[in-house]
Amino acid sequence: MSLSITSPAFKENAALALADVDLQQALTHVERGFIEKRRKAAEALPEFEALRDEARAIKEHTLAHLDLYLEAFEAKAQHAGAEVHFAETAEDARQAVLAICRRAKARTVTKGKSMISEEIGLNDFLEENDIAPVETDLGEYIIQLRGEPPSHIIAPAVHVTRNQVEQEFRRAHAGLDPERDLSEPVSLLAEARAALREKFLAADIGITGANFLIAETGSSVIVTNEGNGDLTQILPRVHIVLASIEKLVPTLEDVSTLLRVLARSATGQDMSVYTTFSTGPRRPGDPDGPEETHIVILDNGRAEMLAGELREMLRCIRCGACMNHCPVYHAIGGHAYGATYVGPMGAVLAPALFGLEKTANLPNASTFCGRCEAVCPVRIPLPKLMRHWREREYERHLKPAAERGGLKFWAFLAKRPGLYRLATRLGLAALSRFGRQDSYASLPFAGGWTRHRDLPAPAAKSFLDQWKASR
Ligand code: SF4
């Protein structure tokens, strides 16, 4: 099976997103809510910047010794009674999950939020095999009802307004009183909770993601704000953890450092409401827990990233801060990107996982303002990594001929200072004919840039000429 990647239609997707009134209303929450909350949380913790350095160092150290930590994790997890499955590809991971489901004769699977599940297209695959997946995170539940993928890695339904959720619930829960009041978020939450409670109790298997895997103890860690992850892994007889190789962290101490920057960067909370550590299945005397625990660890191209220029991307702890601060994401939301991972982190990760041919638009969907790098808790140089993909796109002849020609022409000029200065003078003279101080002006050869942007009249003299005159 293949995932639906619509990144090649990014420009069309973006135009539709900009014209979508409901989406534009929903997106104001990202810009107004998340940014301010992160800023306050960071300011309230004097050691926040030092913790970011520490978090970066922990992830770098782990990546440098990932083979050892994977082995150590496997040994500890097995010792605790869990079964560890390594999956090289998305298909391997899907088959591993299916085999566990078949063995358990599972018909219904509850799921806590898992981006790896999205990455491997697990829901569609399970349905094709007559197994019903039920998302239990409220945001995931909403988008599952709407038949959509998540539009944000920590707030999957951030693109949906409250009114749209109400309409969806009235459609999906048609057996309930049509006169019931769903005008408040709390009433929507109560209705979803009641609907999901039955699913939790009926599920044969629970599947969760993992924010971290701890080599020291063989534990997996999930953070949620709803507690659905706990019910997903405790109530069914079998628990499957889906994680990728870069989720490894050496020790409990390291996790405590990463947790301190994760929630603050993501939602501005000191800590998420629920932080759950799970080690193996239920032991004799435990009051609850699954009888079987399986941990599926996915590579899917990451080992290749580890050895190349994109290695730093594997430090990502999926906090979502880069997309929360991205002006492009604010304008179009996540679906326009057309890939599982969106925003600045997706612009780097999606080409590595799904191929640059399908996703070349994404590293170009950035103003390079640098806000993503400025807020990333593990200091990933996202603009530099997007530039890496832009260079590969040029090398592999994926850019349109006109753009390639323009870049070649610019490189030709940039290597010849005399000619470059002459071209600058001619360009200034030409631009001053089109430029305006008080209105838009559309350049015939760059309409995409200037149709909706001010093109101020340029200075009469170039910087170089002004500098020379001032000496
Ligand atoms: S790239 Fe950085 S800011 Fe973006 S999700 Fe990953 S850790 Fe968070």
Domain locations in the chain? 46-303, 407-470
Residue 435: predicted pLDDT: 59
Residue nearest to atom 8 of ligand 1 (CA): 319
The one-letter amino acid code at 366 reads S
Name the band, by pLDDT with cuts 50, 70 and 90, for residue 339. very high
Is the CB–ligand 1 distance for residue 348 below 6 Å? no
Name residue, tokens 């507690």: 227
Fold exhibited by the domain 46-303: Rossmann fold (3.40.50)
- The alpha carbon torsion through 300, 302, 303, 307 (nearest 10 deg) reads 150
Distance CA 429, CA 103 (A): 74
Instruction: Tokens for 226, please give them.
Output: 């709803």
Distance CA 116, CA 335 (A): 17
Distance CA 92, CA 226 (A): 30
Distance CA 180, CA 47 (A): 48
How many CB atoms within 10 Å of residue 62?
21
- The alpha carbon torsion through 326, 329, 334, 339 (nearest 10 deg) reads -70
Is the CB–ligand 1 distance for residue 377 below 6 Å? yes
Give yes or no for a contact between 222 and 208, defined as CB atoms under 8 angstroms apart.
Answer: yes
Counting atoms of ligand 1 from 1, which one is nearest the CA of 318? 5
3-state secondary structure (DSSP) of residue 131: coil
Is the CB–ligand 1 distance for residue 320 below 6 Å? yes
Distance CA 153, CA 118 (A): 10
Question: What is the tens place of the pLDDT at every residue in 185-230?
Answer: 899 999 999 999 888 889 999 999 999 999 999 999 999 998 888 9
Residue nearest to atom 7 of ligand 1 (CA): 316
Q: Identify which of 317, 323, 348, 371 to mutate to test ligand 1's pocket (most ligand atoms within 8 A of the CB).
A: 317
Residue 442: predicted pLDDT: 60
| Cα distances (Å, whole numbers) of residue 130 to 102, 175, 296, 355 | 10, 25, 21, 30
Is the CB–ligand 1 distance for residue 380 below 6 Å? yes
Give yes or no for a contact between 315 and 56, defined as CB atoms under 8 angstroms apart.
Answer: yes
Question: What is the tens place of the pLDDT at every residue in 427-468?
Answer: 887 777 765 555 555 666 677 777 666 667 777 777 888 888
Q: State the pTM of this model.
A: 0.90
